[in-house]
Structure 1
């Protein structure tokens, strides 16, 4: 498989990973860029998803480290949440090997639009802390486990779901939510990466080259998020959610695509 990856294709994948790392560090959704890029080079879908987890894990690691150094991540407070995300992602990865993803494929675009509308219209979403609607342990056992499960099972929009939970349920401001989301997303990525590695599905040459570019993009993106805060994070999060929705629904075999096609055909 690696012999098909010419120098031009590897440069193309590195550029895609650089942009994805920047976007992912701020709002999530970098896979919207890297997965189509990997598929366009002729890499099979399963290998593309596995390779994407490899390079994405490096990006979320860099973003996590940057936010932690800036004092934005509460490692001690989030320990139990990380454990729940880890358990959820491991469970989701095991389940997806035994079942299909048809239901998730149909529902996720609707949820992503709802998240975009929430962040676009909610007056509470900003740099000001709000009152928490849920305790952190309860959040960890429910949202942490569920979103971790989702990332192991399917994946698109994981960062957006974590960010929404941190803002709407824990009352975090956008900057703090973005920082802690990177820690949780890194956790779920590493679990999925481990499963893919055991299955021997990773294209290591492409993944490692992309990982270097991801680290650079994630470093730039996380610093931009720290500097500009809500002014950058909020609109980019909305754009990423809508972009992922369009990307998912535009697939010819997607249930919503088929529904719209049938309506117009009638």
Structure 2
């Protein structure tokens, strides 16, 4: 029971952070590994997806009630994200992801440095493309980052947010709303794969889902009430934590 209480609390906190800017896996996945050290990693990853997808979908729904996005852009992008994620999940069985794991902290560090240097980045919402061009850009981003999510995963939400801000001209609030749609699609692809292979504890996943939705409610409330500047601050904090986590993992691989 203590283990279940730990992962439920972690899911609540993860849902809150993930709803604002992504990165909830930084909290929930380590908690699952700490609570169930003897379980197969695939089962813990699958159970994480089984709980987290509901908080992400709930956050997307709440954002889209308040933040206007062009559906002609984002429905095709969702399909691209799902396709990319499925392709990445297949690719991970065919190629070695070690070089990517080693390079990731450097990529995240560059992303963080750029965001800090451009202090006005993502504070104003000024889409820079016509609908057709925006749809093409969004689809390309969704396909590439969706593939990365299926192949490896850490930082997926942060990459979505950064690219939507940098390439589409979104503020951090609109970028986070769009990222929730993309993450829901990529999580659905991953969850389908894990479920098909029997790697989901559905009883635990149900409790995680309830806690994740509760955390998502709090996170979306904070993001919507405090605006793009608040989301930008949380984004910087989450990317910083990702750099520490992925840097440690990369150092372990090199050691």
Tell me the TM-score normalized by structure 1: 0.88
Contact 1:117–1:238 (8 Å) recurs in 2: no
2:107 equivalent among 111, 119, 128: 111
Q: What CA distance in whole angstroms lies between the structure 1 residues aligned with 2:208 and 2:69? A: 26
Contact 2:122–2:169 (8 Å) recurs in 1: no
Question: What is the 5 A alignment of 1:1-266?
Answer: 7-41=1-35, 42=37, 43-130=39-126, 132=128, 135-251=133-249, 254=250, 256-257=251-252, 259=254
- Deviation of residue 149 (structure 1)? 0.5
- Deviation of residue 146 (structure 1)? 0.4
Q: Which moved more, 1:121-130 or 1:23-32?
A: 121-130
**Any unmatched runs of 5+ in structure 2?**
none
Contact 1:120–1:235 (8 Å) recurs in 2: no
- Deviation of residue 175 (structure 1)? 1.1
Q: What CA distance in whole angstroms lies between the structure 1 residues aligned with 2:31 and 2:68? A: 32
Question: RMSD value over aligned CA atoms?
Answer: 1.8
- Deviation of residue 39 (structure 1)? 0.4
Contact 1:19–1:217 (8 Å) recurs in 2: yes
Tell me the TM-score normalized by structure 2: 0.92
- Residue 3 of structure 1: aligned partner: none
- Deviation of residue 143 (structure 1)? 1.5
Aligned length: 251
Contact 1:74–1:180 (8 Å) recurs in 2: no
Q: Deviations over 1:56-104 (max 9, x none)?
A: 1111111011011224343333112112111111111111123332122
Question: What secondary structure is seen at the aligned counterpart in 2 of 1:225?
Answer: helix
- Residue 264 of structure 1: aligned partner: none
Instruction: Give the structure with the higher percent helix.
Output: 2
